[in-house]
Amino acid sequence: MSLQPRYTTQPAYGGAKVLHRGTPDYEKCRCMNPTADTAARYPREIHLAETAADIGAALARASELGTTVGIHSSGHIMNLGNLIHDGILIDTMNLNRRIDYDQVTREFCFGPSCRVEELAQKLAEVQRFFPHGHAPNVRSGGFLRAGGQGWFVRGWGATSQTWIERLEVVVPDGRVLIASGTENQNLFWAARGSGLGFFGVVTRFWGRTIRASKMWERSFKFEIDDHRRHTPKYGTDLNITIEYPEKYGPRYTTDDIPPGAKLHLNLNLQCYTDTIIEARTLMSAWDQIPDPVRECLLEMKPVQRRSFEEVFAGKRGFLGNHTQDKWQINSIMNDPQCPLPRLLDAIKPAMLDLPTRTSSMFACFCDILPDEDDAAFSLPQDLYISTITGSVKNNSKPALWDHMREHYKRTFPVAVGQYVTEIDVNNELANMRVLSDTALAKFLNIREQYEPKGLFPNYKAFVKTHEKIKETRKSGKAMIGNGL
């Protein structure tokens, strides 16, 4: 297996602002994704946008050619819905790549191309906090349009829901608009939570900040053979990962799970507060572990200081680091009314039946109750549950990806939907709702006002999936509580 890096957040091209098929820069940009599994779809042109004016020119070009548009940010949506054959691909990796902090308003302004680690660095300089994402090379554009499961989401809400004050947006007719709670409110509503289905290009964000504090972590590792409700919400994170310890072992170079390998469950608790005494109090619900659970405990680390840089270092080499690594992500948000035994029974295959050594399961305790009147971000997020299926093979078979899609399809009855970044515009099998029914209806109405010609086509996947869910309801195959 080649170990040559193939993905970078600072790619260098030859200088042209428009790339055409058949040139090295075109193919380099087309494949600049964390997954090596780039589909054989070829945009007519790729526009390397740096300003709002560049975005307007790209949209005008798409209208002139009578084609549609996809937006490329950091490429962490693994099904690559932005890659539209014969369409226009707008690459935003250098769009307004600057971060400004206002000492008076204590807001900071940044472009969609700014990476999470760049935001963290600027915040450290001015000693402020804003809940950016957890993966260092994710860009703010895709992160915030999806809603943003940022740091300490349990008590502070999704980032776009409670931290973003206003946006600059280029709409399909080329106008550059400011959207906020008092100006172009419908555009502000639609942009936050609609992800890849949004009908414009956000070129700048303004977010509020708070005084910086310190991050603390406590972790447990269990061998696999409900304390979380007692942990305070404000300024705390609870995350679970399940994976094979051999996942990163240098001795292992294939997809095969080593003989005798056992899954490990890692529980990470983090909080944001000034002192270790406060941190110990916030995470004290885990001081007492029931004896049956303690028997599976392999390692327990005490409360200790952590930095964002340390967290980023652990994630930096995960995606897109090698030529052959391929990835797929599937997810659900559980129905909060579903009884825990039924939920566990439904998600167990997705959690434990990992098809390759590099696959892993992740669960985040979000506890988000979104305000649908405020933003398109509209599905309750009690638990975000996802599985990342990885492969190092040159030619991974479609059955590998369908393996996990089938597992997630069986979770439909215990889910309210899925995170918008994981809806697959190319494969319907595991797709679930990404907005509530009423939010989708409102979104479609607003979209019609701004782009009746359908320049941005990915919203159609939302509609198709919602129709599928309606048919499921009619056939009597569902459902409990607020489920599908």
- Report the pLDDT value the prediction gives residue 227, as an integer from 0 to 100: 47
Contact in structure between 193 and 157 (CB atoms under 8 Å): no
Of 161-170, 302-311, 312-321, the poorest mean pLDDT is in: 312-321
Picking from 211, 229, 252, the residue at the C-terminal end of a domain is: 211
Question: What is the distance between the terminal CA atoms of the chain, rounded to a whole angstrom?
Answer: 42
On average, the pLDDT of the chain sits at 90
Picking from 39, 57, 91, the residue at the C-terminal end of a domain is: 91
Q: Spell out the SS3 assignment of 74-136.
A: CCCCCCCCCCCCCCEEEECCCCCCCEEECCCCCEEEECCCCEHHHHHHHHHHHCEECCCCCCC
Task: Classify residue 149: in a domain, yes or no.
Answer: yes
Tell me how far CA of residue 194 lies from CA of 146, 442, 447, in angstroms.
Answer: 6, 12, 11
Same-domain status, 331 and 235 = yes
- Report the pLDDT value the prediction gives residue 236, as an integer from 0 to 100: 87
Tell me how far CA of residue 174 lies from CA of 52, 79, 206, 241, 412, in angstroms.
Answer: 9, 28, 21, 43, 40
pLDDT in tens, 402-430: 999 999 999 999 999 999 999 999 999 99
The boundaries of the domain holding residue 445 are 437-475
**What CATH number does residue 375 fall under?**
3.40.462.20
The percentage of residues in the chain with a pLDDT greater than 70, rounded to a whole number, is 94
Picking from 58, 91, 124, the residue at the C-terminal end of a domain is: 91
pLDDT band per the 50, 70, 90 thresholds, residue 482: very low
pLDDT band per the 50, 70, 90 thresholds, residue 388: very high
Residue of 363, 341, 342 whose CA lies nearest to 352: 363
Contact in structure between 280 and 305 (CB atoms under 8 Å): no
Same-domain status, 345 and 388 = yes
Task: Classify residue 370: in a domain, yes or no.
Answer: yes
Q: Is the pLDDT of residue 5 over 80?
A: no
Tell me how far CA of residue 370 lies from CA of 68, 154, 192, 358, in angstroms.
Answer: 31, 12, 11, 33
- Measured CA to CA, the distance from residue 397 to residue 403 in angstroms comes to 10
Give the tokens for residue 146.
Answer: 């999806």
Same-domain status, 219 and 317 = yes
Q: Is the pLDDT of residue 233 over 60?
A: yes
- Please state at what angle helix 340-352 crosses helix 398-409, rounded to 10 degrees: 180
Same-domain status, 267 and 375 = yes
Average of per-residue pLDDT across 291-307: 92
* pLDDT greater at residue 230 or residue 232: 232
Number of structural domains, the chain? Answer: 4
pLDDT band per the 50, 70, 90 thresholds, residue 54: very high
**What CATH number does residue 69 fall under?**
3.30.43.10
Contact in structure between 378 and 370 (CB atoms under 8 Å): yes
- Lateral strand order in the sheet of 360-368: 297-306, 214-223, 264-273, 236-243, 360-368, 381-391, 326-334, 415-417
The residues that bridge with 72 in the sheet, in sequence order, are: 91
- Report the pLDDT value the prediction gives residue 252, as an integer from 0 to 100: 86
Task: Classify residue 10: in a domain, yes or no.
Answer: no
Average of per-residue pLDDT across 459-463: 96
Task: Classify residue 469: in a domain, yes or no.
Answer: yes
Task: Classify residue 424: in a domain, yes or no.
Answer: no
Give the tokens for residue 58.
Answer: 């790209």
Average of per-residue pLDDT across 152-171: 93
Give the tokens for residue 316.
Answer: 């930096």
Task: Classify residue 296: in a domain, yes or no.
Answer: yes
